[in-house]
Amino acid sequence: MLWYTGKRLLQTIPVFFGATFLIYFMVFSLPGDPIAALFGDHPPAPAVIDQIRAEYNLDKPFIVQYFLYVGGLLTGDLGTTFSGRPVIDVMVKAFPITFRLAMLALAFEAIAGILVGLISGLRKGKWFDSSALVVSLLLISVPTFVIGFVFQLVFGIQLGWARTTVSGDAPWGELVLPAIVLATTSFAYIVRLTRASVADNLNADFVRTATAKGLSRRRVVTVHVLRNSLVPVVTFLGVDVGSLMVGAIVTEGIFNINGVGGTLYRAINLGEGPTVVSFVAVMVIIFMLANLLVDLLYAALDPRIRYAK
């Protein structure tokens, strides 16, 4: 187990360098001169643009730029944004906010999704199950930004239960509404996954055996059915951690949250290499760690799974 974890952690190193290289190359290949575009319709003197370009090493060939970036990285310098702020400052502000948002969303979709899915699966074909199916279908088919704007209008503007936009520090309380919006699609998938899995397992041999042994219904459901039904759900949640961290661009835009998605979107538009690469690199690591965690959780959920050396 320890060996396995160590090996997986070591694998992150080449993936990290490969990912940063590729992404740096992609940002470098974006068409147009990012510095000239900063000034819109009012270009300063060409000599000024040249000087700024040199300041950000944009006048050098790609490979030199990349090694300058990696060199800085090893000394803890992630470069600066075009506004002259150290990228590390931007990250330190953005990541905790998005992390809080993603955790709230994850908690919501996991708890509510598994609960609704479990009840649906146990009462397959009854009215609760049918309405859960219809609602989840609806949530899957409606795009996030529609749900976001509707929730903002209803809960923020009309009812006044929540703030229309999130304030600068993004406290937990203000993030609840955006988190629910962010979680809706995944919530619907988890309901469906759990439901199908539970319904399947209810007819499995080991459940019949457990029931025949005279175990209480409660014990059969929680220990035998639910636990075994969670394997696909946990896989989904693990992958979702990554997409929740990255994929919040729309939700962050609607609620004016200064998180990872919005910052990354701006940086890509500006062609700000160091910011894009640093952000994506951290996200790659988050993805890999989340996947590792999921793989380790399998063993806990299903004792038949063991990790070989």
Partner 1 sequence: MKIKRIGTVAIALASVGALTLTGCASGGGDAPAESGDASAIITTNGNEPQNPLITTNTTEVGGGKITTSIYAGLVSYTADGEIENDVADSIESEDGQHWTVKLKDGWKFTNDEPVTAESFVDAWTYGALFSNAQSTSYFFDNIEGYDGAADSELTGLKVVDDLTFTVDLVAPEADWPLRLGYTAYMPWPKVAFEDIEAYGENPIGNGPYMLAEEGAWEHDVKISLIANPDYDGVRKPVNGGLDIKFFATQDAAYADIQGGNLDVLDGVPDSAFATYEDEFGDRAVNQPAAIFQAFNMPYYLEHWSGDEGKLRRAAISMAINRDEITEVIFEGTRTPATDFTSPVIDGYSDSLEGADVLEYNPEEAKKLWAEADAISPYTGTFDIAYNADGGHQAWVDAVCNSIVNTLGIQAVGKAYPTFAAALDDREQQKLTGATRAGWQADYPSLYNFLAPLYQTGAGSNYEGYSSEEFDNLLKEGSVAPTVEDATAKYQEAQEVLLKDLPTIPLWYSNVNGVSADTVDNVVFGWDSVPLYYQITKE
Contact between 193 and 232 (Cβ < 8 Å): yes
Separation between Cα atoms, residue 21 and residue 15, nearest integer Å: 10
Taking the least distance from each CB to partner 1, the nearer of 85 and 208 is 85
The secondary structure of residue 126, as a DSSP letter, is S
Q: Of 14, 29, 42, 205, which one interacts with partner 1 (CB under 8 A)?
A: 42
Q: Of 126, 208, 219, 266, which one interacts with partner 1 (CB under 8 A)?
A: 266
Q: Of 11, 209, 216, 269, which one interacts with partner 1 (CB under 8 A)?
A: 269
For the segment 144-163, give every residue that binds partner 1 (CB under 8 A).
149, 152-153, 156-157, 160, 163
What do you get for the CA distance between the two ends of the chain, in Å?
Answer: 8
Nearest CA to 99 out of 264, 235, 237, 248 is that of 248
**AA identity, residue 133:** L
What number of chain residues touch partner 1 (CB under 8 A)? Answer: 50
Contact between 109 and 240 (Cβ < 8 Å): yes
Separation between Cα atoms, residue 96 and residue 105, nearest integer Å: 14
Stretch in the footprint of partner 1 (CB under 8 A) among 26-34, 123-131, 176-184, 191-199: 26-34
Taking the least distance from each CB to partner 1, the nearer of 42 and 309 is 42
Separation between Cα atoms, residue 195 and residue 200, nearest integer Å: 8
Taking the least distance from each CB to partner 1, the nearer of 63 and 150 is 150
Q: Does the protein bind partner 1 through residue 271 (CB under 8 A)?
A: yes
Q: Does the protein bind partner 1 through residue 57 (CB under 8 A)?
A: no
Q: Does the protein bind partner 1 through residue 44 (CB under 8 A)?
A: yes
Q: Of 40, 76, 143, 214, which one interacts with partner 1 (CB under 8 A)?
A: 40
Separation between Cα atoms, residue 31 and residue 33, nearest integer Å: 7
Kindly list the distances between the CA atom of residue 72 and the CA atoms of 87, 175, 206, in Å, as whole numbers in the listed order: 12, 35, 57
Interface with partner 1 (CB under 8 A): 30-34, 36-45, 47-48, 51-52, 55, 82-85, 89-90, 93, 149, 152-153, 156-157, 160, 163-165, 167-169, 252-256, 258, 262-263, 266, 269, 271
